[in-house]
Chain A
Amino acid sequence: MLKVRWLALFAFVLAGLALGACGDDDDSGGGGGGGETIKIGASLPLTGEFSEPGKAAQQGYKVWEAMINAKGGLIDGRKVKMVIKDDQSNQNTIVTDYNALISRDKVDLLLGTFSSLLNLPASTVAERNRMLYVEPAGGAPELFDRGYKYLFFAQQATADKQGEVWAKWLTTDVPENERPKTAAYPTLDDPFAQPTSEGIEKILSAAGIKTVYRKTYTIDNPNLDSIANAVKATGADLVVNGATFEDGVGMVRALRKANYTPDWFYQTTAPSLGDQYGKAIGEGATEGVFYAVSHSKEAKTPGNPEFVKKYQEMFGGTEVPEDAADAYATAEVLAAAVKAVGTIERDRQIELADWLRENQVDTILGPLSWDDEGRPEGEFLVGQWQSGVPEIVLPDEAATTDKIIPGWRPQ
């Protein structure tokens, strides 16, 4: 009887191994052979803290997948299949996910995730496996100080330069008597928000705008009333809030509750999330808020009208989230390199990276190019909420309106 049990167990294990082996065969993209689907892996924060942008990024990747397949595939007539996992906004999970994508799902190519916090570990997994890693978000400067050869950021500039266009406009184009004299910088402890705010402070300080408040808060403290009260006590003419969505909304609410309206208000991330922002703080409170943004649905950049049309067809509504556009542009960058070099083979992915270092890619965000460490070398757009609608106000060639409201004018 015992022998029969052992035989049954042995047969079961053998069957399992055989099935596993079959599964591996099915899954292998391999990198060669015509007609096989090309598997592209990514892990996104579909739940948890960053689920808002994570979901949007997933939509962007899905739109690209649909469009590239409709055009006949990526290379050699091979269609694309996106394999997307949920990292739950967790730095540990994302490492597991990218390792699984590479070793178990055996994807041919990788695409990046959302936020600097998650791209930091994910890009390390890609680098160790010598796979090209183009990311749709993750502009923290420290990502590019590690000497990585496979990492590229598919937006116009890193975080420290995100507010540059706006800060230069404020200190040169705004008449001196209308410029703020003092500035407060309440900033989230975040690898993206902090360098953005510091980059702006550097330019404004050099132009004589005095810093009267610079403090960092943490994401797990939802009570921003005391911070708003402290900022109010300084009487700063300008508030620059380095933020993500939840705390960005919390900060506007806290300033309003404290009955404090600085003359100027600049915020990172939150205002670029369209309708969600207007609904969270109230449409009237948005009037005149400045922010940096990478994409405009009205832009006449190559492929943008087609992307916007397809996005609205697939997901409805009139809004196109910036993060969806960034993800789409990321896939465009990857596709450009693959098409130019003509390979997806694992041991030749350094050639894809080298090609990106030497070439410019036209995307729906505009032309993108990179330095040796994968830092983009362009400039962000500047957005401003006007009459309940987010508009592009700078640079002039990308502007969707001629009007710039001189400051924050909540109603």
Chain B
Amino acid sequence: MTEFIQTLILGLLIGGVYALLASGLTLIFGVMRVINIAHGALLILAAFLTYSLWTATGIDPLAAILITTPALLVFGWLLYQATVGRIRTAPVGASVLLTFGLALVLEGVMGLIWGNTSHSVRPSYFNESFEIGQVFLPKAQVYGGALAIVVLGGLYATLNHTWLGRAIRASAVNPQGAELVGVKVGSVAAMTFAIGVASAGAGGSIVSVLYPFLPGSHYQWIARLLGIIVLGGMGSLPGAALGALALGVAETMTVTYISPAWATAVPYIFVIIVLLVRPQGLLGSRLREDVATA
């Protein structure tokens, strides 16, 4: 029983971290219909920024989030103005190609600045755990999970209780209608993209503590994060959180009760089964493309 509880807790904790990492990706898709393949590279960029801050000043990576998040917010806004904004109304395929290109450019630039070697951030708690009876809770995952709740809660509150949030939702549901009632859809899209990228700032700081990383690490992340938002329902924030927790638990349960060799495959089989039964994902809604793009 202890083993089951331990496995479940490890799955939920890592699922919490996944939720944080996936939140920006699903937000950007939900509003803009842009699949941001560069999201993984932006996470790694934030991890490198955290690394530089940590080595230069000794600042705790969790505190560094206060710097990496606004830095990525600005970077995301600039990135939108320079590149993504130009294909906002183009088909989804164009955004996939563009953001994949951006990911490759970011990988190359990170290689030039930080080198193509492995980096790690090691605050005092990086390999420590809280212990409750016989169960251990890795501190970094606990902090990552808590941060995910704060960030997702903040995003949810922004979307549902602020004018910006209403404008974002209006732009997502019916851009033409939103324009008619005075919402500047272009500006809202820029801000949404920037917020999505900013969430990668917070996620990247946690990733830097949890795993060694190098510029090429982004491939590993983007595959997993896409799986999560597809499972949760693309564009749904609560769906991303649920999908992340489900994937995290599925991974740890597979490692413990089937085999670590299947840890990557089994969760994706689970994703496929869910999509066969419910093509819009766990919490996604069916989209009437004729209305949305009319």
Contacts and interface: CB of A to CB of B under 8 A. Distances in A.
A239 interface: no
Interface string A202-230: 00000000000001111011110111011
A269 B107 CA distance: 25
Interface stretch (B74-82, B173-181, B182-190, B254-262): B254-262
B116 A223 contact: no
B118 interface: yes
B280 interface: no
Contacts of B11: 226
A324 B113 CA distance: 22
B126 A225 contact: no
A249 B118 contact: yes
Given A48-B216, A225-B14, A245-B118, A215 B259 contact: yes
Contacts of B111: 47, 51
Given A225-B14, A225-B138, A230 B117 contact: no
A55 B214 CA distance: 13
B236 interface: no
Interface in B7-26: 7, 10-11, 14
B7 A229 contact: yes
Interface in A44-82: 46-49, 51-52, 54-55
Given A47-B107, A258-B129, A223 B252 contact: yes
B215 interface: yes
A49 B216 contact: yes
Contacts of A47: 107, 111, 116, 215-216
Nearest to A218: B264
Nearest to B120: A280
- Interface majority SS (helix, strand, loop, mixed), chain A: helix
A189 interface: yes
Contacts, number: 120
B263 A217 contact: yes
Contact of B252 (A55, A218, A226, A253): A226
Given A233-B3, A249-B212, A259-B136, A226 B264 contact: no
A282 interface: yes
A223 B97 CA distance: 29
Nearest to A410: B127
Given A51-B117, A225-B138, A259-B129, A280 B212 contact: yes
Interface in B102-145: 107, 111, 115-118, 120, 122, 126-129, 131, 136, 138, 141
A221 B251 contact: yes
Contacts of B117: 51-52, 55, 276
Contacts of B3: 229, 233
Nearest to A229: B6
B138 A51 contact: no
A250 to B, nearest CB: 7
B126 to A, nearest CB: 7
B211 interface: yes
B127 A223 contact: no
B220 interface: yes
Interface residues of A, number: 42
B251 A52 contact: no
A244 to B, nearest CB: 10
Contacts of A334: none
Contacts of B136: 229, 257-259
Nearest to A46: B116
A257 B129 contact: yes
Interface in A286-332: none
A226 B216 contact: no
A222 B259 contact: no
Given A47-B215, A221-B251, A250-B211, A226 B118 contact: no
Contacts of A233: 3
Contacts of B115: 55
A222 B131 CA distance: 22
A167 to B, nearest CB: 23
A276 B7 CA distance: 30
A193 to B, nearest CB: 13
30 contacts: A47-B107, A47-B111, A48-B216, A51-B116, A55-B117, A189-B261, A215-B259, A216-B259, A217-B255, A217-B260, A217-B263, A218-B263, A218-B264, A221-B263, A223-B10, A223-B252, A225-B141, A226-B11, A226-B251, A226-B256, A229-B6, A230-B256, A233-B3, A246-B212, A252-B127, A257-B127, A257-B129, A259-B131, A259-B136, A276-B118
Lowest 10 A-B CB distances belong to which pairs?
Answer: A217-B260, A51-B116, A256-B127, A226-B255, A48-B216, A257-B138, A280-B120, A226-B252, A221-B263, A216-B261
